[in-house]
Structure 1
Amino acid sequence: MNLNELEYLSKALAKSTSASVRLYQRENQVYYYSVYPMNPDPFLLYEKDMLQSEQTAGIITTDLFQFYGYVSLDGDYRIVIGPSSILTKDKDKMDNLLFLLDVKEKYKEEYIGKLECAPSISAERIGWLLSFIASAINKNPLFVEDVFVETKSENHQHDIMNSSIQNTFLFSDEKEANTLIVDNYQNEKMLLFYIKNGQPENLKELFSAFPKIKAGTMANDTLRQLKDMGICCATVASRASIEGGLNVQTAFHLSDLYIQKFEMLRNSASIYPLIKQMLLDFAERTKQAKYNCNNSSKLFLRCANYVSENLFDNIKVEEMAAEFGISRCRLCTQFHKQTGITLTQYILQKKILESQRLLQFTNKSISEIALHLAFSSQSHFQTVFKKYTGITPNRFRDAKSDL
């Protein structure tokens, strides 16, 4: 892309995110656009480190816990986006920022106001933006796992790893923006939905592909805060699994086991992986309880994987049996023997389960969902939905929207 095209891209990026965007060629800034321009640009404090970084793409956090993201492009260009909204309200750190930028006293209130207008963009979203830009322009895929997040303190490490687990269960007075509260609540509902319905594969997708994190020295109270968050996760996950059919005693025993593991940890870096392991464990056990099978049931796992991969197609048992190299009769008989339900029932259950997710978390119409899940008609979908849930799709959506 030439300079004019990159300038247009930078402006479009700024418009779409409401964030400030800068375009550099080597050490020189050749373009800048912001819907709330600040003079001086707070990025000047981080410009040298970011421009000299050898990483193709990365994200840095400031003392006020704002994000700046950068990505290198062909032709020695580098795009910088940020800052995001302030998540750590600290008067001393704000005063230090204004001092370093030499903001005059009479302009301080206006400058702080503009800083507070920065958009709420998580590190995760910035990481995906950078991945998309680099992959589209350089014609060479940049995976989001290769976007490094650098933070000065591990005190904020759990905040950076937000949407899939951490922000879901983190109740912080610092996060006052309504958009963040709504996003976090939606994340929590989605995560618990997968546990309740025994969908560990969907959870793995939810947890996957997050930017790598480089953390510094841990703050004194961080470990306790993260442990409490892990304990909170164990509590709500056990409740979701019980609702999904897991034995109450088993769910509580599993919860107690993981709580003990959290208490035994001595560093915060170990907590996030343990939370993921725990939630996947709950989802897997709920799945086993729902279908009366275990990991040794290779036939069930093959069927489950096949249905998951072809969920939006018209799944035919004959074709599944042919792919497995067994007869339709044998496949159906063995599946029913191992799970207690027919293969057709299982397929419809999974389709209805996915339709519930679409009804709850998207704005797709009933007819669109029916078509998306390969039902023969909207009326057929509605009939099957009511058979398995006891209510119509519209009533289900209305009930969930009231929560």
Structure 2
Amino acid sequence: MDPWTFPVPRQGRRRFHAALLAALGAAPFMALGRGEAQRPVQLGIDAEFGLQNSTSAQAVELGAKIAVDQINAAGGVLGGRPLQIVTRDHRSIPARGIRNLEAFIAMPDLVAVFGGRFSPVIIEQLPLLRRAELPFLAVWSAADAIVDNGATPNYAFRLSLRDSLAMPFMMRRAGQRGFAKVGLLLTNTAWGRSNRAAMERYSATHAHPQVVGTAWYNWQERSLVEQYRRLTQAGAQAVLLVANDDEAAVLVREMAALPQAQRVPILSHWGVTGGKFFDEVGPLLREVDLSVIQTFSFFQARRAPLERFMATARKFGVRRIEDIASPVGVAHAYDMTHILAKAINLAGSTERARVRDALEKVPAHDGLVRDYRPPFTATRHEALTSAELLMARYREDGVLVPESAAR
């Protein structure tokens, strides 16, 4: 008998030959599939890691790490490929952010980039993101123009606060507290201008509270007291502050040195929570009435999602929710990473355009911040709404808690 001849029954020969050909033909693809399954799918984080006293980039990374650990423990994406985080530091400098994006774009297995706290950096990056067709996931930055960028298709998605929600909410909160006149103290950046525009849109349809003036300051100014005085002398009974942690600390120290009668409440945007603001001001914060807008508080989280989060967070040194610095950055990045993983599986590919399209089609995700149904659509690249907003305050131990719990 020919050694290559097998005694296969006539009625089974066709079936046998088909199976043999399929097996021989599939062999190299099966080997390729195993290699493919071992290669990580990368997600980038471009943020202000090297900025002195900043905690926002580290918060975004922590949230993503906790989610990635959970996703990989459940089998990864695309039938077995693990997710891998790659970080780059722009130190809040737009030129560095652009160079970082160029490096991310060149990585063939990288599907998306998460951004950090600084809207001005991201706005400068938008043209490159558009040309490269790289999905960008905003999990802290709030300037409206990041998502409202005029691009079609739009590669920017946000799971974060936006200024057109933040400023109206702070204006309403000021009115609820009985302040008929307010002043705006704004950073002279795209972020500050975004908030000024949001205030103007709100005031066009709301007579109260009245805005008596806007004062501007430059990044890293060493004194803000003169801008603050101009607003109070114009009649402001409260000041709406758009600042990061360092400038806010300067203002609090200067306000605490004023006579008590000259101190008015501060309602702050959330940039102050992205660094070591409390460490900078310490006991002086007792002398100033300061509240800060948030989209989420671990103290108000739903029990089941919080338990899932904490079960993994303990691996990363988080023993209690009080241990979490910059809580919104952690929570937003955690939810967005899970949504991205679902989009990758829905796309069935790491091709960036297909992942972008799939982000608009993820049907639901029961997350830490909220139950998203759906997270995004073709006409809505914003995952959060005004329903998630709250005001928070620092306790005497430096922990940020909902305003109602701080009293």
Common topology (TM > 0.5): no
Q: Under a length normalisation based on structure 2, what TM-score does the superposition of the two structures give?
A: 0.28
Please state which structure has a larger fraction of its residues in helix. 1
Normalization by structure 1: what TM-score? 0.28
More strand by share: 2
Ranked by relative contact order (alpha carbons within 8 Å, sequence separation 6 or more), the top structure is 2
